[in-house]
Amino acid sequence: MTSGDRAEATLNSIGDAILCTDVDGKVTYLNIDAEKMTGWSRDAAAGRPLADVFNIIDGETRAIAPNPLNLAMRLNKTVGLTPNCVLVSRDGTETEIEDSASPIYTAEGIVAGAVIVFRDVSTALETSRKMSRLAQHDALTGLPNRLLLDDRLTEAIAMSRRHGKPLAVLFLDVDGFKAVNDALGHAAGDGVLQEIAKQLSKTLRESDTISRYSGDEFVIVLSEIANGDHAAIVAKKLLKVIAGPHRIGTQDVRVTASIGMALYPDHGQNAETLIANADAAMYGAKREGHGQERLFGHESKVGPFAPGETDRDGFVEAGPDRRLRK
C-alpha cells in the first residue's frame, strides 16, 4: 500500500465526513462519508463551488448559513460551524450537523485551501431534546410540569408588569376523580386526564400555559387578560368542556371540576402566592358544589378545609398537601 493509499484509507475510516477546497473555494476532495452526506461523488463535486456541494442553512430561520471554510481561511485559524446548522444534500435530505473548518498550508506556510470535518448529530440532538422535554413535561398528558409552570408564570408576571396588564392563575381540580378510578380502573382514569388535557389545550390560547400540577389538578396561566371578568368567562368555558362526555374506550365518561382563580397583581406578586391563592379559591368553589368557579376572596369560606374536615369528594384534610380518602 502506497502512502497515498494509506492516507486515503485513513480518511475513509475515521467516521467523520471530510471535505477540502482550494484557496478559491472550489471543492478538491471528499471522503466516503462526505459523499454520502452531501449526495455528491468526489468526481462530480471536483472543481465546483463549495456552496453547491456543502449546502448549509440555519435550521431555525432557514437562511443560508455562513461559509465556515472562507472564515477559516480569512482568520487563518480553526473555526466552528454556527449553531443549528443543517446540511441539505443533493437530493434535498436534511441532516443536522456540527463541524470545524481549518486552513490548509503549503510546506512554505502559505494558505492553500481549507478542510472541513463534519458529522451527523441529528440523533444526539433529538435525544437531548427528548430528555429536556421529559424534564419539563408531564409524561401522561404532555403538558408542562411544575418546573416549567414556574418558569412560564414568572415570565408572564414580568410581561404583565411591563405592559401594565393583569394575568390570571386558575387552579383546576377534577371533582371525585378517585370514584372514576375505582369504578373504571386507573387506565380509564388516565384516559380521562388525557382527554381533559386535550380539551384544555384546544380551548385556550397558544400564549396561555396549561400545566398538570399533580394527580387530577391542573394550573392554567391566562397571560395579559383584560380583567377579572375575562378570567371568569374562560373558567366557565373550561368547566363546560371538561364536563364532556369523554369517550374512553367504549364508554362515555362525564366528570366535573372546581376552579379557583387568582389575579396578578391584586392577589399576589409572585408565582408561589398566586398559585396558593388560586388553590384556596378552588377549595371555596368545591365547598359550594361540583362544577363551580370562584375568584380568590369571593368564596363563601376562604381557604383549605380544616384538619379532620371532609370535603365534597370524600377526602379528609390531614394537614398541608395531604388529603386522604375517608
Cell numbers for 84: 443549528
Q: Which residues share a beta bridge with 80?
A: 100
Relative to beta strand 257-264, strand 94-105 is unpaired
Distance (Å, rounded) from C-alpha 276 to C-alpha 153?
Answer: 13
Neighbours of 128 (CB within 10 A): 11
Q: What is the C-alpha radius of gyration for the chain, rounded to an integer number of angstroms? A: 30
Q: Which of 33, 173, 208, 216 is catalytic?
A: 216
Distance (Å, rounded) from C-alpha 247 to C-alpha 254?
Answer: 9
Q: Which residues share a beta bridge with 324?
A: 316
User: φ, ψ for residue 3 (rounded to 5)?
Assistant: -65, -35
Which residue pairs from 37-45 have beta carbons closer than 8 angstroms and sit at least 24 positions apart in sequence? Answer: 37/87, 37/89, 37/95, 37/97, 37/118, 37/120, 38/87, 38/89, 38/90, 39/89, 39/90, 39/91, 39/93, 40/90
Is residue 216 annotated as part of the catalytic site, yes or no? yes
- Would you please indicate which residues are annotated as catalytic (active-site) residues? 216
